[in-house]
């Protein structure tokens, strides 16, 4: 049994019931009346922000399972057939700063339209100071809540500012009302404790806001085996158990509603905690909304009696405008967090279209290429992760000028040679017992492109189409996109690749394993796990950088540098074999 002290988890669903945007539809939320007259849930663009903090800047706040709990929720939301969220923004551990969290919320608030769905999930510490409830971000301090933490009322006000009628807030914490501060709470007992009273929660409810808490006031929210009991049953409920379990109020109509999830979590969590620990934990709910909030479609039968996987119920409309037929969400792809906190996303085995018939000579012809399955870094290797490698191994230091471009621990590391990147991967392999390596250019391109013929990781739109920047690059003047040099990893949510990789266009060129050969694509059939040219003088880099023009951001663009080069525009990300 593991400790998760002062953990606070919440989930917010915002639902608009107005007229939708025709080209952006998906399974979502309707009323019972609408369900009786329409076989298609017509919804707008569906956004989700998933936040989890286990590894805090101040070590005494560290938790055990918060980030993994967040990933387990994200896994459900990213399932195209189950939940259909077109974008799930994950902000985990060191990336979950106060600034980042609020910025992402405000960005979504500005982008969400009148028929969209917005979901926010937070897993980490929460506490009360005076009459205010706070969330503790990665860099927060409970002693200075006003300036370092996030007032829950601020979050609610951001969300209320959106044009939404229905909202669901789920808190995985205990709001015991105890007088102890976070720092005085005992650790090591597997309890999550948050000093947030019922009366505080009730002040946050209002028209259209429904709240589910993981326990009653005065109880604790427990966890064991690296996962919270409540989150475990929340996820199971969203995956269909809440709809199927008649004893918990499920009606087996093929859709999971908010009330079904609440009833199922109440039914299962307390029984599980009693059987496992001999304790009590009673999830509950408060507030009210109009209609029925449908969260997922597990496929046990639709509202009109047809299978939930039928095109009658799940629109075969791509979740992004101007998508090609090869669009793939990272929805069925498992994610892992390795020993140094690096998130790896899964790329399944299969063919994809490598190269381009319209690009430079060294990119053509386009060929079908088969790759085995593998994991690849969701983000570029950060400055902080690379410094950890240097501290643990005594490997050669980076040039002093690197800190000008890799400004914080969350920025991508630059100034690394190809040999440096290989050395990092070898060290990570030793630390983890798994095989980490630089991706081949084929593996890099598939992770960036998916299985279709898109020009950029996000599709075929220009990097700054409609004034929305999808990458950190040089659009004509260096600071037009907001960054003079590199940006933190995890920025530019509109530029995420089909498998959920961030910043594969711009920010920093990324070393690949292959030698560069200008004629390689013309001379070789790239049919089965190609490894690149046998020899050469330069190594492949992909993706472009903060100083690149937009043509270098194309997913099929090939470039190269001498392997010993240490440049302010080059970094890397890792692959991991199965």
What domains can be seen in the chain, in order of their start residue? Answer: 7-296 (3.40.50.1460), 334-577 (3.90.1580.10)
7 to each of 2, 36, 90, 276, how far by Cα in Å? 12, 40, 18, 20
97-133 confidence digits (pLDDT tens) = 999 999 888 887 777 666 677 788 888 887 888 878 8
* Ramachandran quadrant class, 127 (left: phi over 0; alpha: psi -120 to 50; beta: rest): beta
More confident residue, 334 or 74: 74
Tell me the pLDDT tens digit for each residue of 237-291. 999 999 898 877 788 888 888 888 888 988 899 889 888 888 888 888 776 555 5
The per-residue pLDDT for range 275-289, each reduced to its tens digit, is: 888 888 888 877 655
Report the pLDDT averaged over residues 394-398.
Answer: 97
- Tell me the pLDDT band of 390, cut-offs 50, 70 and 90: very high
59-78 residue pLDDT tens: 888 888 788 888 888 888 88
Residue 196 pLDDT > 90, yes or no? no
Confidence band, pLDDT 50/70/90 cuts, at residue 173: low
What per-residue confidence (pLDDT) applies to 47?
81
Mean pLDDT of the 73-96 span: 83
13 Cβ contact partners less than 8 Å away, ≥ 6 residues apart: 29, 117, 118, 119, 166, 167, 168, 258, 293, 295
In the prediction, which pLDDT does 450 show?
Answer: 92
Residue 389 confidence (pLDDT) above 90: yes
- Encode pLDDT of 284-331 as tens digits: 877 655 556 778 888 643 323 333 332 222 222 222 223 333 333 333
| Average pLDDT value over all residues in the chain | 77
Maximum CA extent, the chain:
72
Highest mean pLDDT among 144-158, 186-200, 374-388: 374-388
* Percentage with pLDDT > 70 across the chain: 75
CA nearest to 257, candidates 285, 271, 237, 236: 237
Determine the pLDDT at residue 479.
54
Q: pTM here?
A: 0.54
The answer to whether residue 189 scores a pLDDT higher than 70 is no
Nearest to 342 by CA among 311, 306, 388: 388
């Amino acid at each position: 049994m593991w400790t998760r002290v002062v953990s606070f988890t919440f989930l917010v669903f915002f639902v608009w019931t107005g007229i939708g945007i025709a080209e952006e539809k998906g399974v979502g939320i309707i009323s019972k009346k609408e369900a009786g007259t329409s076989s298609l849930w017509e919804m707008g663009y569906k956004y989700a922000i998933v936040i989890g903090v286990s590894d805090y800047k101040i070590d005494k706040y560290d938790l055990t399972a918060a980030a993994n709990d967040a990933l387990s929720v994200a896994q459900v939301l990213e399932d195209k057939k189950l939940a259909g969220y077109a974008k799930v923004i994950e902000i985990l551990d060191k990336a979950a700063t106060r600034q980042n969290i609020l910025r992402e919320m405000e960005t979504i608030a500005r982008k969400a339209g009148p028929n969209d769905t917005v979901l926010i999930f937070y897993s980490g510490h929460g506490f009360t100071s005076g009459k205010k409830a706070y969330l503790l971000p990665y860099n927060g301090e409970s002693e200075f809540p006003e300036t370092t933490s996030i007032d829950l009322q601020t979050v609610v006000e951001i969300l209320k500012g959106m044009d939404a009628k229905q909202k669901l807030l789920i808190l995985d914490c205990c709001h015991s009302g105890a007088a102890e501060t976070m720092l005085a709470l005992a650790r090591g007992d597997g309890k999550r404790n948050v000093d947030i009273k019922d009366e505080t929660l009730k002040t946050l409810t209002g028209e259209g806001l429904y709240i589910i808490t993981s326990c009653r006031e005065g109880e604790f929210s427990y966890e064991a085996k690296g996962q919270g009991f409540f989150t475990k049953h929340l996820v199971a409920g969203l995956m269909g158990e809440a709809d199927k379990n008649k004893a918990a109020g499920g009606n087996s109509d093929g859709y999971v509603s908010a009330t079904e999830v609440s009833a199922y979590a109440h039914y299962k969590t307390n029984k599980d905690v009693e059987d496992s620990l001999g304790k009590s934990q009673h999830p509950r709910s408060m507030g009210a909304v109009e209609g029925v909030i449908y969260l997922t479609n597990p496929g046990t039968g639709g509202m009109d009696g047809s299978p939930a996987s039928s095109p009658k119920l799940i629109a075969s409309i791509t979740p992004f405008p101007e998508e090609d037929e090869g669009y793939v969400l990272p929805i069925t792809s498992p994610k892992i967090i390795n020993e140094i906190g690096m998130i790896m996303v899964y790329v399944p085995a299969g063919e994809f279209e490598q190269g381009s018939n319209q690009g430079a000579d060294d990119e053509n012809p386009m060929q079908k290429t088969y790759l085995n399955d593998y994991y690849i870094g969701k983000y570029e290797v950060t400055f902080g992760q690379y410094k950890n490698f240097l501290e643990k191994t005594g490997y050669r230091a980076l040039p002093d000028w690197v800190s000008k471009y890799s400004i914080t621990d969350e920025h991508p590391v630059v100034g690394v040679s190809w040999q440096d990147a290989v050395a990092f991967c070898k060290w990570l392999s030793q630390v983890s017992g798994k095989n980490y390596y630089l991706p081949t250019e084929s593996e890099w391109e598939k992770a960036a492109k998916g299985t279709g013929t898109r020009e950029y990781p996000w599709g075929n739109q220009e990097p700054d189409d409609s004034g929305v920047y999808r990458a950190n690059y040089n659009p004509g003047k260096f600071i037009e996109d907001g960054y003079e040099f590199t940006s933190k990893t995890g920025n530019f949510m509109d530029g995420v690749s089909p498998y959920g990789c961030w910043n594969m266009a711009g920010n920093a060129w990324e070393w690949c394993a292959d030698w560069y050969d200008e004629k390689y694509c013309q001379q070789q059939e790239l049919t089965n796990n190609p490894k690149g040219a046998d020899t050469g003088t330069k190594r492949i880099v992909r993706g472009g950088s903060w100083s690149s023009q937009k043509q270098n951001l194309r997913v099929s663009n090939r470039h190269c540098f001498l392997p010993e080069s240490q440049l302010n525009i080059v970094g890397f990300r890792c692959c991991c074999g199965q």
